[in-house]
Structure 1
Amino acid sequence: MDPKGAYGKLVRDRIPEIIREHGAEPVTYTADAEEYRNRLRDKLVEEVAEFLEADDSTAPEELADVLEVVHALASVLGVDVGQLEKIRENKASERGGFAERIVWTGNR
């Protein structure tokens, strides 16, 4: 693989092992910190797109993939899942959540 990251994509940690179990030999490398962060951002876009295309039966699985990437990005930023949840709770307390389905159309 191109160590500058022009090719390939970030995959889950067990994917090379799963590929080997199916009789192929994966070609991989470990991204440096900067590439990893960039590839996680790309992966988030990919997973959100998959979620948006999913039907109701597959949407929960796709949403779990989004959450996995969000957790990895939080870790890169030095924030653990508990801290991330606290930040979410604080924002919800200050600004609310989305449960009331309010759509803003502008001001008068």
Structure 2
Amino acid sequence: MNSYSRHGKLVRNRIPQIIRDGGTEPVFYTAGRGEYRSRLRDKLGEEVAEFLAADDDVAPEELADVLEVVRALAADLGVGEDQLEKIRAAKTAERGDFSDRIVWTGNR
């Protein structure tokens, strides 16, 4: 029994069919709205941890997984990709981005 057998794990839409194609019958259910949001937050943590542990060869794939979860979370909050981009751009205009690699160490 794996660690998800009792509690479940949020997976991508095609995973049940991929499991069937592999010759096994998956057991799954559709989460309600509140559970879905909670599981998306958990999934974000899982995907970020996988990204942080990945070497440079695998990191782009893991980062894409993080982005997929971020998009799902935004959609669940009623925020479309265009609106999310506008929010990101406004924050960048106000506070900048990370391209200058500035590390703050405190104040004097």
Same fold (TM over 0.5): yes
Question: Could you tell me which amino acid in structure 1 is paired with residue 65 of structure 2?
Answer: D
* Runs of 4+ off more than 2 Å: none
Q: Cα offset for 1:102?
A: 0.4
Q: TM-score, normalised by structure 2?
A: 0.94
| Equivalent residue number for residue 76 of structure 1 | 76
- SS of the aligned residue for 2:18 comes to helix
Q: How many residues align?
A: 103
1:66 paired to 2:62: no
1:97 paired to 2:102: no
Whole-Å Cα distance in 2 between the matches of residues 72 and 80 of structure 1? 10
Post-superposition Cα deviations, 1:27-77, rounded to whole Å, max 9, x if no partner, equal 000000000000000000000000000000000000000000000000010
Question: Could you tell me which amino acid in structure 1 is paired with residue 16 of structure 2?
Answer: P
- Residue identity over aligned pairs, in percent, reads 72
Whole-Å Cα distance in 2 between the matches of residues 65 and 76 of structure 1? 17
| Equivalent residue number for residue 23 of structure 1 | 23
Whole-Å Cα distance in 1 between the matches of residues 86 and 17 of structure 2? 35
Q: TM-score, normalised by structure 1?
A: 0.94
Structure 1 unaligned spans of 5+: 1-5
Q: How large is the Cα RMSD of the aligned pairs?
A: 0.7
Whole-Å Cα distance in 2 between the matches of residues 82 and 107 of structure 1? 37
| Equivalent residue number for residue 3 of structure 1 | none
| Equivalent residue number for residue 39 of structure 2 | 39
Whole-Å Cα distance in 2 between the matches of residues 83 and 57 of structure 1? 31
Structure 2 unaligned spans of 5+: 1-5
| Equivalent residue number for residue 3 of structure 2 | none
